[in-house]
Amino acid sequence: MLEYASYALVLLSLGMYVVLDGYDLGVGMLSLFAAVERRREYSELIATAWDANESWIVLAGVAMWAALPGLYATVLPGVYLPLIGMLFSIILRGMGLEFQGAASEYRRGWALLFGTASATATLCQGLVVGAVLSGLRQAGGVFHGGAFDWLTPYSVLCGLGLVVLYLLAGAAWLQLKSEGETRDRAARAGRPLLAGTVAAALILAFGLEVADPQQFRFDEPLRATLFWLAVTAAVAAGAYAWHGFGRRPDWRPFAAVVTAEVLGLLALVAATVPVLVPAGLTVHQASSPHSSQLFLVLGVGLCMPVVFGYNAYAWWAFRGKFRQPAEPPLPPVSRSLAVAPEPATVPDRGILAVTVRRILLTVLGIALAAVSQDVFGGVATWIDPVGIALLCTVALAAWITGDRRDQRDGAFDLPTDLPVDVPIDPAAGR
């Protein structure tokens, strides 16, 4: 029974990731359609919770690796490309979010990076899920397919369906946390996105009958009962979300969408368990030895409350509506004495900070190239040079962009902090 406890921990981690990181990926994608002056508000809205939300995918990967090594060894070689694309997108998304937050004003490039990386990460996740659901060529827990077996019509539909689902979750969360025009736009977008999500769910559900090589055993009473109960409750939650969009209280659409997501995952598990990768890889075949299972259940089980507490504290600390801080009024100008203006200061970065950044970029490029050679060796001969070229291009682009920003901010200029003598007009006070 320990293998099912480990399987439940993996499902819990993946479900928490879909529920929590799904809405902030949706907010990132919605920022691409927002007015320019409001894009920074979208990033500010999720800046307090996105890193806590993404911790669940790390926990899911560790639990899968330790508890279900057969699943890990079968799925990972079959979805290398979309999985690597997802990881790169998550990294670039974090860069765009943090650099935009550190900038003194709106930067269009960082905002676009944040939005496009969110869309790419979501699409790659859908491709991975679709490839696993439609089956990967494997025998005895060993992958025997090609580098592009993940690219199927069903996986593409699954990627697009996940994009629509995350957009729906993002719209519901924006109605919950924002005010004014942002809240109204999210409320108006909610119902069309909900209709699109329902259509995508129906297409994917009926398409799975064709794409999935296993036969669903709905002739078993317990399985059929759990499946249809979950589906019925998900439909009710969707109807509640439809009624809540655009109406107060604003928490109703988000709560209903989260409930529908959880129930949809439970329905999928009820239809497929104990099969992990169609058509033949089951929980028993993919699980690790008993001692590893016991260690994982205790170790990850003890970590779960910490991660839950992290998420709960972030939600509690930043509860309520997000409001832009009010700018303090300017002090009145005294005409009795003309004061010399403050001299402009130059950011104190200098050559040392630029040199350290260049060294770190170089080390990062070498390390990632080495990992690329180790991971992709023997899988496909063209992946290694393409991966290295991509990494070098990204590092060079970051190098050039950083140097241009430092040059614009005056990091390479000599400091000019000499005071400026402004004569005082004795008649100014008259």
Q: What is the pLDDT of residue 428?
A: 47
Whole-angstrom CA distances from 65 to 71, 155, 252, 275, 296 are 8, 23, 37, 17, 10
DSSP 324-345: PPPPPPPPPPPSSSPPPPPPPP
Please give the structure tokens belonging to residue 239: 């109807």
Residue labelled with tokens 């059929």: 224
Phi, psi of 34, rounded to the nearest 5 degrees: -85, 160
Residue 249 is classified by DSSP as S
Q: What is the helix (H) or strand (E) element at residue 69, kind and residue range?
A: helix 69-78
Averaged pLDDT in 10-residue chunks for the chain of 430 residues: 84 90 91 81 80 84 84 84 91 85 74 90 93 79 77 92 96 90 91 95 86 72 91 95 92 94 92 80 82 83 84 83 59 48 49 70 70 59 66 73 70 51 47
* 385-389, long-range: CB < 8 A, 24+ apart: 387/84
pLDDT tens-digit series, residues 277-316: 777 778 888 888 888 888 888 888 888 888 888 888 888 8
Q: How far apart are CA 106 and CA 40, in angstroms?
A: 6
Q: What is the pLDDT of residue 337?
A: 43
DSSP 178-240: --HHHHHHHHHHHHHHHHHHHHHHHHHHHHHHHH-SSPP-TTSHHHHHHHHHHHHHHHHHHHH
Q: What is the pLDDT of residue 335?
A: 47
3-state helix, strand, coil split of the chain in percent (to 5) is: 70, 0, 25
Cβ neighbours, 10 Å, residue 340: 11
Q: What is the pLDDT of residue 190?
A: 93
pLDDT tens-digit series, residues 106-164: 677 888 888 999 999 999 999 999 988 887 877 766 777 777 888 889 999 999 999 99
Q: What is the pLDDT of residue 301?
A: 80
Q: What's the burial of 295, exposed, middle or buried (CB within 10 Å: 0-12/13-18/19+)? A: middle
Please give the structure tokens belonging to residue 428: 């100014």
Q: Which residues contact 56 (CB under 8 A, 6 or more apart)?
A: 13, 14, 16, 17, 20, 21, 307
